[in-house]
Structure 1
Amino acid sequence: MSLFVPEDDETQLDTMDLDVSKENLDGDSSKADMNSDEEDPVINEVPIHINSRLREELVILQYTNRFKQREQPNISQVRFKPQAGVLELNVPLEKSKYFSPEKSAEWDNIDKQILRGVLNESSTYYAGVVKNGAIHLNPIQKNAQVRPYFEYMDQRKSEKQNQFHQQLKIANETTDASKKEVRVVQMSMKTTVDSQPRLGGALQSNKSESEEAWVDYAWLGSSKEQLQLANKDDTLLQSNMTRDEYMGELFKETRVDL
């Protein structure tokens, strides 16, 4: 038995007409949409109010190395460079477990973790609050991804490099002193502009950042007393004193009996 069909063998195939006109396709899709709407009806409509801009900027900090389930880190200090947009947060290390005093002493008694990030302009995030059945959205102006910054390791590496270059310089000066030769020196005049080093974009940005001074900010966590003093209700506080009694209390200490 051959698996191939001879060319002269005419195989009879059953055919049927399919109506694939655009009208039928559109009709089927509209029916499907109506069925889906009936299965998933709208149960409530909520108005949305978008504020163009607040008086103060809203910033999102994204902790890239921290799980979502973990609590907000306890920030002890915040500093910021407005021109460079660099932000640093100090997080005290937990010393009750997984802390080695010996290792800390090796690294100049390090007792905190530094989180560092750069604030970038953002136009995709909003902060919202639900009030009186409506959603009020406020745009997020900037966001930053903060990551651990091992400044103490960079300082140790920089110190070793400086020591190496200093030793190399001393060795070269000793070698040059032992090999004194007469050389022809050609002198040329240069302007002050020509003598200045020209830095590229990344180097110039790094130089500007290093020259800018830090600005310290206060960090108020969600558990701070200042944030819990707000009145969550819309009710106004009513005084149990009359106007005359209140004025009398104000001037009680300044009253003089004649």
Structure 2
Amino acid sequence: MTDLKNDRVVFEAPVMLSTALANKLYLYQYPVRPNHLNYDNLPVVRSKIKPHHQEVELELQLDTNSPNYDVGKGEQIALNCSSTKDKTQPESSEFERGIMDKHILRSGPRVVDNACTYCVGVVQNGELLITPLKGIVQLQPSFPYLDAESNSKDDAKELDDDMAEEEAQKVNVKFARQESDRVKKAREMSFGFLNKKRAEEQWFATKFFHSQTEEAEQERLKLLSFVPQTEVTGLDIDKTEYMKNLVPSESSDYHSAPKLQSDFISLDKMKTLLIPDQVKMLLRSAKIINFSKLLSLLGQEKEAVNVLRFMQAVAVLINGNWVVKSDIIYPKDSESSFNGVPAELMCRARDYVLSLFTKNQYLDRSKIVSTVKLPFEEVTEILSHISQHKVGKGWELLLPTDEDFLKRYPEVVQRQSLWWEAKQRQLSQLITE
């Protein structure tokens, strides 16, 4: 095991902040390219960037005269791309020379928020000059031309389907409800919304210079440019403001990870609560859990009977596992985070999904959407809390059947079965209304 004390770096010299490239410096990473096989020898024929979302695209020229290059395959790819090119699009991956002669590298969403917390350092005359990074982008190979033919066929099929559906049909008119600030903020943090904003931003053409060129050397010299300030400002702030400036809170207009709900607390703090509150807190956090795991987290293995009594007030039994009740996930007067669906409808849809899991191993999301009449995002949220998608099968519960619980507590299983029978009759009436 590595001794962390030996990994520390001590630099006993002045540290200077250089700002000449502070708002322009990006770090390019190539995560799928070995270090000894870099792109230094491949000319970049075109480069562009989306500055707001910090996305980059490079077109690298391929050596078509190389003995390792398959000319016939290169011509075939160019031919397929040319035959399926959309004439209405100003940008295309078509190869003008009639042969695949370029290689495209493209980055996705920014990989690090607040990249200015990272910097590049250069030692000069015994001083360390650091320049903060504007962003970090990871460039990976992109092959849009391989999908050109299949996309063309899909577009043609969609056009035929649209023309076939142009017959007169019933139209439902819906009026958009007023969004609260919380719902609006949640919608703007959704994956679909952020993806749409990324697609809307325009590309800006840039000039690319390899690291060994004179232009690149001129830019590198800016890392060494430093003009010392004779006045030091900002020292008249109080202690609290100084700490905020020293360790700023994380903030970004780009969503990186969902925030925890306000009632999520540590296990140590949770154990100061009463047992019923501990049970409710754990169920709300886990969404689905088996009984033995719950007892272990509570440290109440000897009080299983009492814990089981509390469980039935906040959870329902599905295949021997306990799932938190819907009204705890969606309390009264609350709304869903995506489209602002009222809690009553969310609880009804979630109870319907839970009832299906009592009878089926796999569920079809599209059938559920058509039955409960809720947006796709809300149904996905309900499913993702307690299940996972298996390709070619459907959505399956996160936990396998707890046979041990079913054998040890048959009376609880019987009561839960009767409860589910009554609940399913109620749901069948509500869903058909």
TM-score (norm 2): 0.35
Shift in Å, 1:189: 5.2
The SS at the match of 2:37 is: coil
Shift in Å, 1:148: 0.6
Shift in Å, 1:65: 1.8
1:222 to 211, 215, 219: 211
Q: Could you say which residue in structure 1 is the equivalent of 2:240?
A: none
Whole-angstrom CA distance in 2 between matches of 1:48 and 1:147 = 38
What is the identity, as a one-letter code, of the residue corresponding to 2:194? S
Q: Could you say which residue in structure 1 is the equivalent of 2:307?
A: none
Please give the per-residue CA displacement for 1:65-93, whole angstroms capped at 9, x wherever unaligned.
22212342532221112233321111111
CA gap 1:107/1:79 in 2 versus in 1, 3 angstroms? same
Shift in Å, 1:187: 6.5
What percentage of residue pairs aligned between the two structures are identical?
A: 23
Gaps of 5+ in 1: 1-39, 177-182, 235-258
* Corresponding position: 1:133 with 2:126: yes
Please give the per-residue CA displacement for 1:84-132, whole angstroms capped at 9, x wherever unaligned.
3321111111221322222222222332111111334325532111111
* Corresponding position: 1:85 with 2:36: no
Q: Could you tell me whether the CA contact under 8 Å between 2:23 and 2:134 is conserved in 1?
A: no
Shift in Å, 1:59: 0.9
Please give the per-residue CA displacement for 1:169-221, whole angstroms capped at 9, x wherever unaligned.
56x479x8xxxxxx9x7666555x58xxx999322233333332210011111
Shift in Å, 1:161: 0.8
1:10-49 equivalences in 2 (<5 Å): 46-49=12-15
Q: Could you say which residue in structure 1 is the equivalent of 2:69?
A: 99
Gaps of 5+ in 2: 1-5, 79-98, 178-186, 225-433
Could you say what the CA RMSD is over the residues aligned between the two structures, in angstroms? Answer: 3.7
Q: Could you tell me whether the CA contact under 8 Å between 1:48 and 1:137 is conserved in 2?
A: no
1:43-122 equivalences in 2 (<5 Å): 46-51=12-17, 53-54=19-20, 55-71=22-38, 72=40, 73-95=42-64, 96-108=66-78, 109-117=99-107, 118-119=109-110, 120-121=112-113, 122=115
TM-score (norm 1): 0.56
Q: Could you tell me whether the CA contact under 8 Å between 2:62 and 2:103 is conserved in 1?
A: yes
The SS at the match of 2:208 is: coil
Whole-angstrom CA distance in 1 between matches of 2:30 and 2:54 = 17
Task: State the aligned residue count.
Answer: 178
The SS at the match of 1:160 is: helix
The SS at the match of 2:75 is: helix
The SS at the match of 1:107 is: helix
Q: Could you say which residue in structure 2 is the equivalent of 1:209?
A: 198
What is the identity, as a one-letter code, of the residue corresponding to 1:107? I
CA gap 1:222/1:52 in 2 versus in 1, 3 angstroms? closer
Higher percent of residues as helix: 2
The SS at the match of 2:44 is: coil
Shift in Å, 1:153: 2.0
What is the identity, as a one-letter code, of the residue corresponding to 1:79? K
Q: Could you tell me whether the CA contact under 8 Å between 1:46 and 1:134 is conserved in 2?
A: no
CA gap 1:90/1:152 in 2 versus in 1, 3 angstroms? same
Whole-angstrom CA distance in 1 between matches of 2:126 and 2:201 = 47
1:144-163 equivalences in 2 (<5 Å): 144-163=137-156
What is the identity, as a one-letter code, of the residue corresponding to 1:132? N
Whole-angstrom CA distance in 2 between matches of 1:231 and 1:60 = 13
The SS at the match of 2:196 is: helix
What is the identity, as a one-letter code, of the residue corresponding to 1:223? Q
